[in-house]
Structure 1
Amino acid sequence: MAKGTIRYWAAAKAAAGTGEEPYDAETLAEAMAAAAARHGRGGEFRRVVGRSSFLVDGDPVGARPHASVALPEDGVVEVLPPFAGG
């Protein structure tokens, strides 16, 4: 298992109730499933994260299946919800 940090931004931060937390997972899918189990809160966390985009050590995940995205040791996962604005 790799250990690193998940950073939440904007609505993801509000839904998680924290700006960051550690991960202990092999893949992005595993890390986010563990986070969802911690932050159930009536589905708000899952809803926000389900619409979010992700960076792993600054690289966009894009449309890749999260189960195929390996997480590095001491890596950083950024959870970026859709932003509104003009």
Structure 2
Amino acid sequence: MAVGTVRYWAAAKAAAGTAEEPYEATTLAEALTAVRVRHPGELVRVLDRSSFLVDGNPVGSRPHETVRLAEGGTVEVLPPFAGG
């Protein structure tokens, strides 16, 4: 199990009520499950529309269960942004 940081941006930050928090997880799916448990409500809806970066790399359409997290890594939650 890796320990790292989840960073929230824009609407995700507002819904979580914090800019970042720690994770303890092996995969992105595990980390996001823990986030959903800690922050039921609006953040769950924001996560469903968000994209993710893991250590600066876009996750894209890869299944979250296959995205391994590194010790000391960072997961960034990027909700859709308005504008162009």
Equivalent pairs counted in the alignment come to 84
**Counterparts of 1:70 and 1:84, CA distance in 2:** 30
> What is the percent sequence identity of the aligned residues?
73
TM-score (norm 2): 0.97
What residue number does 2:12 align with? 12
**Counterparts of 2:83 and 2:60, CA distance in 1:** 22
- Write out aligned runs for 1:63-74 (5 A): 63-74=61-72
Structure 1 runs not aligned, ≥5 long: none
Structure 2 runs not aligned, ≥5 long: none
- Write out aligned runs for 1:5-84 (5 A): 5-40=5-40, 43-84=41-82
Runs of 4+ in structure 1 over 6 Å off = none
TM-score (norm 1): 0.95
